[in-house]
Structure 1
Amino acid sequence: MSSTDPEALLGPADIRELAAALGVRPTKQRGQNFVIDANTVRRIVRTAQVRPEDVVVEVGPGLGSLTLALLEAADRVTAVEIDDVLAGALPATIAARMPERAERFALVHSDALQVTELPGPPPTALVANLPYNVAVPVLLHMLDNFPSIERTLVMVQSEVADRLAAAPGSKVYGVPSVKANWYADVKRAGAIGRSVFWPAPNVDSGLVALVRRAEPVKTTASKRQVFAVVDAAFAQRRKTLRAALAGWAGSAAAAEAALVAAGVSPQARGESLTVEEFARIAENAPVARNKELGQQ
């Protein structure tokens, strides 16, 4: 199922040559930093535990460094690319460098945040070097819209990786931590140096591994209702939950009642709560509030 040609993957000279031929200059606006090291992309594929039967979706394939490494290991790869020039060039790169796998590659030319359907079999894994500026929204969007994704490995800015994998009580535990944990068990899976990118970013990168929960969070509240509590709790981090949730509940007294009913101290702060505790608070929200969220 894999390519044995060591020249199939892209190296630094290949990346620069492709970029020059296409007139591509990486832009900060789209968070473009291309991986130029073949060992790094193979390491990402190994860390992602990509299997021969996997259908992998990749977001932001760029010039195709990681895409080619994924095609070596997976059954199929679907890449989602927003950039017109990069999307236009990628199929030809795949066909030229890995012709025996080209029929197992599909391209979706779109903004990943707008994608709700993918061609071919449902994806079983998400592996991506996510653009730093939209990493968390894209990750949550893909997990929400494609429940068939069992395993995820994303490369993001190191600080974002820390936030996604943070546990309750951590200084960096926040909205991304809770929302990612709604879908999956999350952990840091390594660090990536700046020198493997072109252009080299001004920040370090980290790998985050997510394994979808075997069972969803047990709650009668909807995801929208739970996430509304999470957003409110962290909008004013230094405040107690009684104060932070006053706007969400309609008043501080209503917030306190919901917290007490959920078995959560009104004096606690959002960074100390698990996703299950946030769900219990949502369950005990004022009836009018949950009805309003349920209709949105």
Structure 2
Amino acid sequence: MSTITTLLGPAEIRELAERAGVRPTKQLGQNFVLDGGTVRKIVRQADVEPGDRVVEVGPGLGSLTLGLLEAAADVVAVEIDPTLARLLPTTVARHVPGLTVVAGADDEPVVLRDDAGRDRLTIVLADALDVRALPGPPPVALVANLPYNVSVPVLLTFLERFDSLERVLVMVQAEVADRLAAPPGSRTYGVPSAKAAWYASARRTATVGRSVFWPAPNVDSALVRFDRRAAPATDASREAVFAVVDAAFAQRRKMLRSALSALAGSSDLAVAALEAAGVDPQARGERVDIAGFARIAEQLRHLGPTSGRPGIVEP
């Protein structure tokens, strides 16, 4: 089994970046983790086990990548920055003895393979939002320090496209973490909370201070853990349920009978659907859990044939 000699420290991270001419950019949401203790906390709270196939989005200079390899996981790293993607194999090979870099064709991933022929690290150069398939066995976990500017879209996209993901542990802005883990009825509950709940249960597990990053962000960060669960039982599609969620929060202070009137065809039809779903028409979206939104979508779907209105059109 390959072992890690050391994780990346502050001096080496800055040296790597300088040597490669890399300057973290706000455009790509790049904030590199300097602290090995934080890296190990992320890996530990993700319950990474030896042999797990883990996808990491935005590996950057490789801090978390090395932590995942230290835990004996096999990692698929999705990196949008070509310079960082080219730098990562050399960095990992220097820290993990016994790995050989296997370079693919221009459009194929770079693989680091151990002496037993096991692919320990596969580097995919791509925008995570465009990724629809990953090389190798399906991943069982997503573990990542997500770029701040795309954290929610990336999270929801991967939960949708990779149903093999049993658990997710991501580091995001503390404010975003609160929204993702918020229960119905709380002031931070909204579209991200409800949509994430379609796929998984969520909980915030730790706060991460600004000093562990380079450059230090202007906000605190937090770790959020997601555990996959079955979607609500409904004959409405996920797209239909999410359309109801979007409409319910488009104007947050509106009662549902008004917020859903356009989707239903009228306020009266919205009231009929809400009552049939067991939801108070005068409630607001922040009071409804994902199962409630699924029931509403189901009732709106049934409006179409009887009301002469489109209701929710299934894909």
Alignment partner, residue 241 of structure 2: 226
Aligned to 2:258: 243
Q: 1:143-198: CA deviations, max 9, x gaps? A: 10000000100000000000000000000000000000000010001010100000
Residue 249 of structure 1 aligns with an amino acid whose one-letter code is A
User: Sequence identity, in percent?
Assistant: 64
Q: Which residue, 156, 164, 170 being the options, matches 2:186?
A: 170
Q: Which one has a larger percent helix, Structure 1 or Structure 2?
A: 1
Q: Displacement, 1:291?
A: 5.5
1:43 maps to a residue whose letter is: K
- Separation in structure 2 between the aligned mates of residue 290 and residue 98 of structure 1, nearest angstrom: 57
Judge conservation of contact 2:58–2:77 (CA < 8 Å) in 1.
yes
Deviation at 1:91, TM superposition (A): 1.4
State the match for 1:80 in structure 2: 78
Gaps (5+ residues) in structure 2?
Answer: 100-111, 114-119
Q: What is the CA-CA distance between 1:216 and the residue it aligns to?
A: 2.4
Structure 2 CA distance for aligned equivalents of residues 144 and 99 of structure 1: 36
For 1:29, the equivalent position in structure 2 comes to 27
The code of the aligned residue for 1:190 comes to A
Cα distance in 1, alignment partners of residues 195 and 58 from structure 2: 22
- The residue number in structure 1 matching 2:51 is 53
The answer to whether the 8 Å contact 2:255/2:281 transfers is: yes
Q: What is the deviation of 1:75?
A: 3.1
Q: Secondary structure at the match of 2:98?
A: helix
**Which is worse superposed, 116-125 or 74-83?**
74-83
| RMSD between aligned residues | 1.2
Q: Which amino acid aligns with 1:147?
A: D
Counterpart position of 2:208: 192
Q: Quick one: distance in 1 between partners of 2:39 and 2:98?
A: 20
Cα distance change on mapping 1:242 and 1:54 into 2, 3 Å: same
TM-score (normalizing by structure 2): 0.90
TM-score scaled by structure 1? 0.96
Decide which of 89, 92, 102 is 1:91's aligned counterpart.
89
- Pairing of 1:87-236 with structure 2 (within 5 A): 87-100=85-98, 102-103=112-113, 104-213=120-229, 215-236=230-251
Q: Distance in 1 between matches of 2:27 and 2:69?
A: 28
User: What secondary structure is seen at the aligned counterpart in 2 of 1:142?
Assistant: helix
Take 2:121 and 2:97, find their aligned partners in 1: how far apart are those partners? 10
Equivalent pair of 2:273/2:296 in contact (CA under 8 Å): yes
The alpha carbon displacement at 1:19 in A equals 0.3
Which consecutive aligned stretches of 4+ in structure 1 deviate over 4 angstroms post-superposition? none
